[in-house]
Amino acid sequence: MRFTGDARRAVAFPLGGLGSGQVALCGDGALRQWQLLGVPNHGALLPDSFFALRVSSLEPPDDVVRLLRAAPLPPHPHPAPNISDAEVPDRGASFRWPFVEDTTFEAEYPFARVGYHDPALPVAVALEAHTPFVPLDVDASALPLVRYRFTIRNDSPLFRHGFVLGALQNAAGWDGVTPIHGTRGAGYGGNVNRTLRRPGQSGVLMDHPGLAEDDAAAGEMLLWTDSPAAVLPRAHDADALLRWAETLRLATPTQLGDWSEGTVRAALRAGASPMRAPSGPSPAGHTWDAAVAAAFALAPGESATIDIVHAWWFPNRYADFDRFGPQHHYGPTRFWVGNHYATRFGGALDVLDAYLGDGERLDRESRAWAEAVAAGDLPEPLRDTISAQPALVRSPSVFQTADGRTFAFEGALGASTRNWNGDAGGSCPLNCNHVLNYEQALARLFPSAGRDMRETEFAVQAPDGSIPHRVVLPLYLPQLNGVPIGGPERPALDGMLGAVLKTYRSLLDGAGLPWLRSQWPSLVAVMSHVSGKSDGSGILRGDQPVTYDIALHGPNMFVGGLWLAALRAMAEMSSRLGEPDTFTATFKKASIAYDELLWNGEFYAQPSTGEDYDFGKGCLSDQLLGQWWAHELGLGHLLPASRVRQALRSIVKYNLRTGFAPHGYREFADGDETGLVVCTWPHGGRPAVPLRYCDEVWTGVEYQVAAHCFYEGLDDEGLAIVRGVRARYDGTRRNPFNEVECGDHYVRAMAGWSLLTAWSGVRHDATAGTHTDGARPGRFPYVAGASWGTLTVAADRSVTL
């Protein structure tokens, strides 16, 4: 994925581990969206945290300095609504050093690469940044750390030497939301920076010892390099950091012409600058900046690599976010839940040492994953989607509490939520099962997290078998059983049926029969609850709360298809456990009844009920969500295959639109863009109060429809949908690594992972093995429940793993 010119404007590549906090490397080379404490906030700017370069020469005298970021691109003349990734919080700020003239940005997740371009620079400079990412290995993928690797190449005919400057502000005490002015900010004061000196390593360890251990902002940060480097542990502002870099000297190597590493290190230890650092804790209301200046010396044509690492450790997370349902008054209790990563390490230095001790493997496997995606035979829009999916998994929307449980907001509050909420924090807590009905990336890449989320879901199940679609954290608090929940008001029926399907997915990914046996009573209970809405033909009737934050009424294929898929999944699980199959008979008669009742010759509509929000004669993009799930799980067709394909063609024909006018709801596609709307009424009959969100475009829905098209052999239709998504999220106005709905990094968008399964035709069953029936020839990235790599299908259908 390559971004140049205007396509860099909205690029913000999340760096940081699963549930461990993030910072974004942007298309102009700047670091923004500092969310190290786990508080989602796209506007979070940590001042004085940047990279810079000074390049000098002996003869002729020459000294060039640059900030390693380009000037902010001008705002787009028509900014995308509900998006903030293109905003530059420090736009207009003055700096002592100039920006580079231009940048290019490339991404192969988890690696981001920035090329810096300036005719005044006598060296070529590039950055590769990443946080280790290893499929199936949560701990390896959850490090609170970023490695920045700079490559400097001397393209000039002269000897060149200089410094790569890494600057970082001590953010301990900051809440992640309150604006910081220079080094002045609420929560600051008493910050301590200590110089780190170890053989071959140097840096600055940062903390705030005056904070209580349980303070939400208590923790540590680390700025580190293993290159020969000068260290400025404390400074009042960025101007002082850059002035310090201007005074740096390497007198002995210059005089003797000895640029060996030992000589350079000795010269730096002897004192490379006459500037003195302030001492002691930072004054009240202020923190300290710090910097490392890693030295390099290059003959013409030579190159050097310099590693700079940011690591952090903030152990405290509180369930202090919005709560749905009735409001309880718990007084001053804050409900500490912690961060799982912090239980594995004793501080930021422990994080670094864990990485250094296993870094070769972690980096090798991270690169193997990136190459498996980039070098595969997926069409470009599918490849880009699959490459970006792990960024959603490791976004601020997903976290792990100290006990190791995995939780997810629907998204991160942002520009798309200001109409009803703020723009900082988690959106719509927590583990919303009807939104996560679309998620495939998190559970496939990290099956242990998928199993964990099922266990949490069943832990809050009501005595009547229903499952509230939101979880209250901590789990020992009263859950949302028998009370109005919100979004929708009553427990979401689609989410309950999804719990069954997700449980079967975990079995296919290797959860094992003993695990399934432990969940079986909950599965039987939820199916018994849902079946209470069915009539003698197996059709579900009456009030059916769903993901559109409303209830549908009467028969509809959106809920009906999920019901059919759940019945098939229960039959399969019954067989594996040796339990009586009480589900297949209901499935058979319900499938016939739904098809006969709802098929209108082109798609599956809904009998008119006269109720608000029902879609009636509408063509709902989600009408075959249950069939998509069935294909994901290898359950076969739930309805006549020919009608399923015709319904998909109709969805694409009527709902894939190019050109959008304002429609009064949230706009996720506008102008002349292409997107799949939630519902249309191609033959009239749009109700006076139509389906909520019907005119919106949701990428999670787009991805599941596109994947379903691939399952059914409708490649052109599926590719048209995905091309529309990726064209909207091309970096010009929207961030390719942040798909937005009710918040940033919206978890419904993790439906994009199903594009891989659907296109390749490869499925995994931990019991029966890997299935490649119908797989198309090509080389594809491959993730199973206990292994990952690449899978190649030859023209003769032979398979190589």
Percent of the chain whose predicted confidence (pLDDT) is above 70: 100
270 band by pLDDT with thresholds 50, 70 and 90: confident
For 591-617, b/e burial (b = at least 16 CB within 10 A) is: bebbbebbbeebbbbbeeeeeebbbbb
681 band by pLDDT with thresholds 50, 70 and 90: very high
Distances (CA, A) of 21 to 24, 314, 538: 10, 9, 47
Residue 354 has pLDDT above 90, yes or no: yes
Q: Residues near 443 by Cβ (< 8 Å), separated by ≥ 6?
A: 449, 450, 453, 502, 505, 506, 509
331 band by pLDDT with thresholds 50, 70 and 90: confident
Burial of 85 (0-12, 13-18, 19+ CB in 10 A): buried
Q: How far apart are CA 251 and CA 460, in angstroms?
A: 68
Q: How far apart are CA 527 and CA 451, in angstroms?
A: 19
Burial of 742 (0-12, 13-18, 19+ CB in 10 A): buried
Distances (CA, A) of 684 to 31, 293, 332, 597, 688: 50, 67, 55, 20, 12
Query: C-alpha angle with apex 175: 172 to 181, nearest 5 degrees?
Result: 80
Q: How far apart are CA 718 and CA 696, in angstroms?
A: 19
pLDDT at residue number 462: 98
Q: How far apart are CA 751 and CA 748, in angstroms?
A: 6
Per-residue pLDDT tens digits for 391-421? 999 999 999 999 999 999 999 999 999 999 9
pLDDT at residue number 60: 86
Average pLDDT over residues 496-505: 98
Per-residue pLDDT tens digits for 696-716? 999 999 999 999 999 999 999
Q: Residues near 578 by Cβ (< 8 Å), separated by ≥ 6?
A: none
- In DSSP terms, which residues pair with 115 in a beta bridge? 104, 126
Judge whether 35 and 52 are in contact, CB under 8 Å: no
SS3 category, 567: helix
Q: How far apart are CA 592 and CA 539, in angstroms?
A: 10
552 alpha carbon, distance to own chain's centre: 31
Residue 349 has pLDDT above 90, yes or no: yes
Residue 140 has pLDDT above 80, yes or no: yes
Judge whether 11 and 3 are in contact, CB under 8 Å: yes
pLDDT at residue number 775: 87
Residue 525 CB coordination number (10 Å): 18
Judge whether 468 and 477 are in contact, CB under 8 Å: no
Residue 131 has pLDDT above 90, yes or no: yes
pLDDT at residue number 468: 98
Phi, psi for 106 (deg, rounded to 5) = -130, 150
Judge whether 206 and 222 are in contact, CB under 8 Å: yes
pLDDT at residue number 329: 86
Residue 178 has pLDDT above 90, yes or no: yes
pLDDT at residue number 750: 98
SS3 category, 600: coil
783 band by pLDDT with thresholds 50, 70 and 90: very high
Q: Which helix (H) or strand (E) holds 411?
A: strand 411-412
Distances (CA, A) of 455 to 246, 500, 562, 578: 57, 12, 20, 22
pLDDT at residue number 476: 95
pLDDT at residue number 44: 97
Structure tokens at 688: 């006076």
Structure tokens at 541: 């009737």
pLDDT at residue number 316: 98
Judge whether 29 and 165 are in contact, CB under 8 Å: no
**Helix, strand, coil percent content, the chain, rounded in steps of 5:** 30, 25, 45
- In DSSP terms, which residues pair with 181 in a beta bridge? 184
Judge whether 263 and 271 are in contact, CB under 8 Å: no
Residue 228 has pLDDT above 90, yes or no: yes
Q: How far apart are CA 447 and CA 753, in angstroms?
A: 14
Rounded to the nearest 10 degrees, what angle do helices 447-459 and 513-531 cross at?
Answer: 50
769 band by pLDDT with thresholds 50, 70 and 90: confident
Structure tokens at 605: 């509509």
Report whether the peptide linkage leading into residue 430 is cis, meaning its omega lies within 30 degrees of zero: yes
* Best CA proximity match to 762, nearest among 439, 453, 508: 508
99 alpha carbon, distance to own chain's centre: 29
pLDDT at residue number 724: 98
Q: What is the pTM of this model?
A: 0.97
pLDDT at residue number 206: 98
**N-to-C CA span, the chain:** 26
pLDDT at residue number 147: 98
pLDDT at residue number 377: 96
- In DSSP terms, which residues pair with 423 in a beta bridge? none
SS3 category, 295: strand
Query: C-alpha angle with apex 16: 20 to 138, nearest 5 degrees?
Result: 60
Residue 327 has pLDDT above 90, yes or no: no
Burial of 743 (0-12, 13-18, 19+ CB in 10 A): buried
Judge whether 352 and 224 are in contact, CB under 8 Å: yes
Judge whether 69 and 60 are in contact, CB under 8 Å: no
Residue 770 has pLDDT above 80, yes or no: no
Burial of 249 (0-12, 13-18, 19+ CB in 10 A): middle
pLDDT at residue number 637: 98
Distances (CA, A) of 542 to 30, 535, 546, 553, 625: 53, 10, 13, 5, 20
**Count of helices and strands (H, E) across the chain:** 17, 33
Q: Which helix (H) or strand (E) holds 500?
A: helix 493-508
pLDDT at residue number 332: 86
Q: How far apart are CA 557 and CA 565, in angstroms?
A: 11
772 band by pLDDT with thresholds 50, 70 and 90: confident
779 band by pLDDT with thresholds 50, 70 and 90: very high
Per-residue pLDDT tens digits for 149-158? 999 999 999 9
Rounded to the nearest 10 degrees, what angle do helices 715-728 and 380-393 cross at?
Answer: 60
Tokens 């094992």 label which residue?
512
Q: Which helix (H) or strand (E) holds 694?
A: none
797 band by pLDDT with thresholds 50, 70 and 90: confident
Q: How far apart are CA 483 and CA 15, in angstroms?
A: 39
Query: C-alpha angle with apex 735: 732 to 737, nearest 5 degrees?
Result: 145
Q: How far apart are CA 114 and CA 41, in angstroms?
A: 24
Q: How far apart are CA 713 and CA 752, in angstroms?
A: 18
pLDDT at residue number 111: 98
Per-residue pLDDT tens digits for 594-613? 999 999 999 999 998 899 99
